[in-house]
Structure 1
Amino acid sequence: MGWLLALFIFLLLAFLAFSAFVGYKMVKPPRLIGDWTPRDLGFDYEDVTFETGDGLRLSGWWIPNGSERTIIPLHGYTNSRWNDLYMKPTIEFLLREGYNVLVFDFRAHGKSQGKYTTVGDRETEDVKAAVRWLRENRGEEAKRIGLIGFSMGAMVTIRSLAEIPEVCCGVADSPPMDLDKTGARGLRYFAKLPEWLYIFVKPFTKLFSGGKEVHPIEYADKVKKPLLLIAGEKDPLVKVEEVREFYERNREVNPNVELWVTDAPHVRTLKFHPEEWKAKVGEFLRKHL
């Protein structure tokens, strides 16, 4: 019987070690760094850095466009400002619409400092740092500030509307509402691992990153600024029903919340329906920004 106990202990330790490895990889994403710049879109820009409240230097671009309105696009988990799927076309769209753009890499992504992502917790501090930089350095060009977030960036958009006074409106494209559900689905989506493993991985993600859980659904009663929610019926990470629940709750306190449901997968409405996306988002921004 002694060998059975030894085998059990070995398998248990191996399982915990594997769970720890998966948790580590989840909070330390690969860094996406590209070679294009706003100049490739026909616009001059400045490389900028600014510091978060917890001492990290974030890297980004300031793209002035002669406006008093500035929009900050926020990328998703494992991506950066160089994302070609939605960040590059969004930046170009906003510039063509006449807005100034400040775009940066979240902590632990792109060229920004930070060892671990907290997937929506401390990333709100990153947006606060960006807004503070705008107010201190480009005040006349940032009299109105809006956000457009994708996936993790959409989570942060929702939190920012509730927590950052200077942000006046936001677009949340494919926002996870329950991080546990989306995290479990993400194991299957990103790593081809079973969803049930998440319950064992989750403690290690919190241990490594030091972040706390963020569930945007908890902000449904707190957001009272204009918000456009975009959800896709083919999204494997975020269910339309979860976004709709937020919408139904939020509209009880927020007359300026909108929900647009498409047939697209995660953060791909802009790819599959570019003209509709631009028309819908453009109208929302013109109305509220």
Structure 2
Amino acid sequence: MTETDNPPSPGKAQHQAPAKAPWLARKLGRAALRFSGYPGRGIIGAVRRKQAKERGGRAFKVKTDDGVELDAWFSPADPRAKHADADGPPRLPIFMLHGWVEVKEFHFPRAWCLNHQGHDVILFDHRAHGRSSGEFATFGVRERHDLRQVIDTAIEQKLIADHRVITLGFSMGASTVLQHAPTDERVAGVIAFAPFVNFREAIRSFRFKLAPWIDDKWLMRGFEAAATHDAGFDLDEATTLDAVKQIAVPVLMIEGTLDSNLPPRWHTQKLAAEKKQGPLEVITIDEATHVSLCRRTWPGLNEKIAAFCARLR
């Protein structure tokens, strides 16, 4: 199957109650939802954390409504920022969300770049990731509420002065910021690197890449059972497509032509087609894979992101 093909649509059986999922399929689904809790994840990025502290950054904690403790980091704007508006209001703060099995420290260099443009940046580890607690990732279902609570806490602690914010995410984080945007009037704009249409289609995309011989129906039943009975959420709540239809603020989507994890034709381009309200810009990076799109510094991309953010008020 090539990237230009459309993945087969799920059948009705895939949306039925997951009670009869095969044991192995459910175990596989549960393992995927818990994979972000790999041992030693809390010490990843220690060097960058030290560098960030030397730049004036500091950690803070956010307690969610369901008792999860999120490890967050405040990275302040450079007071000498060359591109800060001298006579206008300060640049909006940016909340940056990492992808699945990542940690926030992976994205400190991009945060520092935005600091140089005059933006305060807040990053945090998703639940069940990095230094945050929690047992399962829910791919936006609970994470979008976590983002709201991180914004609330940053304002309460007076880390940010402006109640208008920009949200930026990578992969699972990108889908989370898009799912969150229509529910929070404080969001002035959204930047999404390689988001997924919904969790079900994200699973299907990874199946095509890693194990196309696995039966789709069998795998979906396992994930449904793991999500419902083990992690306590509905698989179909993690839908980015429905959220995008409701977003009126400006959105910048960024895709890579060689992204085989979440191929643009199946995900970013379908999301862009449903953005009917407000401005939309899509940037395509040639030769970028899923990982390199989010991690590498691509020529001109930081400047385009900075320009998008500078227009937001």
**TM bin (shorter chain):** 0.7 to 0.9
Post-superposition Cα deviations, 1:25-84, rounded to whole Å, max 9, x if no partner, equal 11112343311245415511221001112222111111222556311110011111122x
CA distance in 1, matches of 2:253, 2:99: 15
State the partner residue of 2:241: 217
Taking structure 2 as the reference length, the TM-score comes to 0.79
State the partner residue of 2:221: 200
State the partner residue of 2:51: 40
CA distance in 1, matches of 2:295, 2:101: 18
Change in CA separation of 1:227 and 1:267 when aligned onto 2, cut-off 3 Å: farther
Correspondence 1:19-38 to 2 at 5 A: 19-31=25-37, 32-33=41-42, 34=44, 35-38=46-49
> Residue type matched to 2:101 in 1?
T
Correspondence 1:104-253 to 2 at 5 A: 104-138=124-158, 141-187=161-207, 189=209, 194=214, 196=216, 197-206=218-227, 207-212=229-234, 213=236, 214-241=238-265, 242-250=267-275, 252-253=276-277
**Contact 1:63-1:100 at 8 Å conserved across structures:** yes
Structure 1: any 5+ residue segments left out of the alignment?
1-14
Choose which of 53, 58, 69 in structure 1 pairs with 2:92: 69
Change in CA separation of 1:158 and 1:129 when aligned onto 2, cut-off 3 Å: same
CA distance in 1, matches of 2:112, 2:98: 15
Change in CA separation of 1:260 and 1:30 when aligned onto 2, cut-off 3 Å: same
Secondary structure of the structure 1 residue equivalent to 2:156: helix
Change in CA separation of 1:167 and 1:105 when aligned onto 2, cut-off 3 Å: same
Q: Compute the displacement of 1:239 (Å).
A: 2.6
Change in CA separation of 1:81 and 1:190 when aligned onto 2, cut-off 3 Å: farther
Root-mean-square deviation (Å): 2.3
Change in CA separation of 1:246 and 1:140 when aligned onto 2, cut-off 3 Å: closer
Secondary structure of the structure 2 residue equivalent to 1:133: helix
Please state if 1:260 is matched with 2:260: no
What percentage of residue pairs aligned between the two structures are identical?
20
Change in CA separation of 1:201 and 1:47 when aligned onto 2, cut-off 3 Å: same
* Greater relative CO, 1 or 2 (CA 8 Å, sep 6+): 2
CA distance in 2, matches of 1:163, 1:273: 31
CA distance in 2, matches of 1:98, 1:195: 50
How many residue pairs align between the two structures?
270
CA distance in 2, matches of 1:30, 1:74: 15
Structure 2: any 5+ residue segments left out of the alignment?
1-20, 80-89
Please state if 1:82 is matched with 2:102: no
Q: Compute the displacement of 1:129 (Å).
A: 0.8
> Residue type matched to 2:185 in 1?
P
**Contact 1:151-1:267 at 8 Å conserved across structures:** no
Taking structure 1 as the reference length, the TM-score comes to 0.85
